[in-house]
C-alpha cells in the first residue's frame, strides 16, 4: 500500500511537472509569437515613417527648386523690363535730340518730297507743335520752294511734344512721326532682338 501511494505521488509529481513544462512552453511560444508581431508592426511603422519622411523631403526639395526657378524667371523678366524701359528712355532722348536739331527741317522736306514723287500725294499737311513750327517754318518753306514742292501746308498742334505728323490727300492717309511714335516703333523693333540676345545668355 505504501508503495502504491509512493507511485501515486511520483505519478502526480511527474504529471504536474509535465503539465507545467507544457504550459510554460505554450506561454513561451505565445510570448515569442506576440514579440514577433510587435517587432513586425514596429518594423512596418518604422518603414512607413522613413517612407513618409523621404516623400516629405523630396516634396520640400522639389518645392524649393520650383521656388528657385520661379525666382530666376521673375528676376529675368524684371531685368528684361528694366532693359526695355532703359532702352526706350535712351531712344526717346536720341529721337528728341534729332528732332530738336536743324536736321528736322531737312527730314520734313525729304519726306514731303518722297510723298509727292512716290505716293503721288497732291495735298500734304505737316503738323508740328507750335514751338518747333516757329523755329523751323522758314527753313522748311525755303526747302520746299527750292525743290519746287507745292500744295504743302504747315500747321501747329500742341497735343504732342516733339516730331511731326503728316496728313496726305486731305486726311486720307495719316503718318505719325511724333517723338513718342518713333520711340515706340524703334523700341518694338529692338526689344525682340534684345530678348533673343538675353535668351542666348541664359
3-state secondary structure 155-171: EECCCCCCEEEEEECCC
- Taking the alpha carbons at both ends of the chain, their separation in whole angstroms is 110
What is the Cα–Cα distance from 90 to 84, expressed in whole angstroms? 10
The CATH code of the domain at 102-201 is 3.30.2320.30
In 3D space, the residue among 95, 154, 149 whose CA is nearest the CA of residue 129 turns out to be: 154
- Backbone φ and ψ for 176, nearest 5 degrees, come out as -105, 110
The model's pTM is 0.53
Q: What is the pLDDT of residues 157-201, one digit of tens each?
A: 888 778 888 888 776 778 888 888 888 887 777 777 666 666 665
Q: What is the pLDDT of residues 104-137, one digit of tens each?
A: 888 888 888 888 877 667 788 999 988 888 888 8
Amino acid at each position: 500500500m505504501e508503495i502504491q501511494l509512493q507511485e501515486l505521488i511520483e505519478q502526480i509529481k511527474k504529471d504536474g511537472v509535465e503539465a507545467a513544462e507544457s504550459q510554460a512552453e505554450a506561454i513561451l511560444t505565445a510570448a515569442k509569437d506576440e514579440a514577433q508581431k510587435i517587432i513586425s508592426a514596429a518594423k512596418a511603422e518604422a518603414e512607413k515613417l522613413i517612407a513618409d519622411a523621404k516623400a516629405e523631403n523630396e516634396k520640400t526639395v522639389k518645392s524649393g527648386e520650383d521656388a528657385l526657378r520661379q525666382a530666376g524667371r521673375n528676376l529675368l523678366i524684371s531685368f528684361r523690363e528694366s532693359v526695355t524701359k532703359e532702352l526706350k528712355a535712351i531712344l526717346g532722348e536720341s529721337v528728341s535730340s534729332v528732332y530738336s536739331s536743324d536736321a528736322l527741317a531737312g527730314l520734313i522736306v525729304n519726306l514731303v518730297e518722297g510723298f509727292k514723287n512716290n505716293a503721288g500725294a497732291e495735298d500734304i499737311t505737316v503738323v508740328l507743335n507750335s514751338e518747333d513750327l516757329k523755329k523751323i517754318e522758314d527753313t522748311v518753306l525755303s526747302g520746299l520752294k527750292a525743290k519746287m514742292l507745292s500744295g504743302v501746308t504747315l500747321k501747329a498742334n500742341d497735343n504732342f511734344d516733339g516730331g511731326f505728323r503728316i496728313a496726305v490727300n486731305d486726311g486720307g492717309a495719316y503718318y505719325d512721326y511724333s517723338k513718342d511714335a518713333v520711340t515706340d516703333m524703334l523700341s518694338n523693333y529692338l526689344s525682340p532682338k534684345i530678348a533673343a540676345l538675353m535668351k542666348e545668355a541664359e
